[in-house]
Chain A
Amino acid sequence: MLKLFEHETLDVQNLSEEETAIRVEKLNLQFGQKHVLHNISMRIPKNRITSLIGQSGCGKSTLISCFNRMNDLAPDCRYDGSIFIGGRDINRRKENVSQLRTQVGMVFQRPNPFPMSIYDNVCYGLRLQGIRVRRYLDDAVEQSLKDAALWEEVKDRLFESAHILSGGQQQRLVIARALALKPDILLLDEPTSALDPLTTLFIEELMASLKKRCTIVIVTHNMQQAARVSDYTAFLHQGKLIEYADSDTLFTMPEHKQTEDYITGRYG
């Protein structure tokens, strides 16, 4: 199987603390009466790409939203268990959620650039932190757009509306917007599902190149994509973590019957 970057394979079941970016322990989550995540425990390795796969509605989005507490926005959401990022439990009540979200960036399924200029989009997070120095912002915009492989295409129209960009460009702009905050972790929720194959490939390459700088967790419905880009893959079924291993193992020799059924397409 083609890999863009080769490196030693870790055993995700026995990761050391230094190798762990996110440690989830006994996470349970409910929306009202609906139990969505059941007792999930896992360690997500640093500077690697980990993908979450599973049937629609199994709780993938909900799980990655736990990593930056986006679920807090749903009024009837309750959860327990712990999630350790950078050595502290982010599920604590007094966690500074705004700060956490600058540390853990998120990109959504549909590109959602703000109705502002490209420049202002990238600066949004920095400005929220009170950064107003023009030189610093200019540099940050250039660097983030370069990191997101968008600079060459937009450098002459930074002050035009972000809505003139194509879907793929918009998605890269949204990634640049998240990267501007220099996050440790980047959460991508089906980032390519609205894009054509070529643009998808482009974003996949981008992810591979970002691996050096941050930990990436990606939700995808595309088995090939998961196998292609991710180092590790977790399979979720009805809110339970069924199998979690390095992608080569999971896609070639799955341990569980459910996993095999899903990756060979016997589930929907």
Chain B
Amino acid sequence: MYPAPIEAYFAPRSIDEALQCLAEAGDDATFIAGGMSLMQAMKARLVEPRVLIDLNEVEELRGLARGPRSLTVRPMTRYRELAATSALHGALQALGDAAATVGDRQVRNAGTIGGSLCWNYVASCMPSACLCLDATLVLASLAGGTRSVPIKTFLVGPLETARRDDELLIEIVFPASIRRGVGSAYRKYGGAVDGLPIVGIAAQVEVDEAGLCTHARFSVGGILPTARAFDGVGEILRGRPGTPAAFAEAAAAAADAIETQGDHLASAGYRRVLIRTLGRDVLAEAHARASNGAGR
């Protein structure tokens, strides 16, 4: 119900200051972003941080920036902002879709993409969306400067990432060619509307002028140990027109290939059903968006 006693609280205003705080506070210090996961854990006393470093006042950790071949999303960007921005239209729309259906309005007003990735809860939306969109994460530390980690390496297991304790996530970089003909989408099934994903699926599809798929990426969240991508979808769709049969075949292949767990929310078998059906629909939607882009 109530957090354990906290000894110190800092609200740094810059990345440097945040890293400085962390270095000084040592082991028991924790960053707090939107707090939508961390506060749950603190109130349940699953974690009892001695020192809290609040990232909400660090202006340079917020917002989006477009580069020539990439889009950088800074970690303190909130779901509400991701859901509303037009910067994601087209190739990165899956991220907007995912952000728009996280939890509820109040959670979307507070929660951040960076917090979600660093927490890496099994039933979460950002990890699978970012995996599909092939993000690269930039981590900074006082000792080691910055390093880039591909999302695939970053996501390790339930509540586990490749981030070292002394590191701050400062950027999430998405490859974003300005070419048309790329579309992506995300959908989830969580039992209730906007519920935590029992299965969440992101797909990105690229089509050529003739409407044939040239490339596709596909990832699944809600499964143990962590969100996973399935490259077979790209192989199945390459060179084929985007037909319902093709999407169904690709999603079925993913459902067969990806190992799923059973729990009291859903059996492993039902999770495969969800991958098959949601997967097919997400591919179709990504394809439709890609085709719209290509036609424009």
Are A and B part of the same complex? Answer: no
Residues of A participating in the B interface, judged by any CB pair closer than 8 Å: none
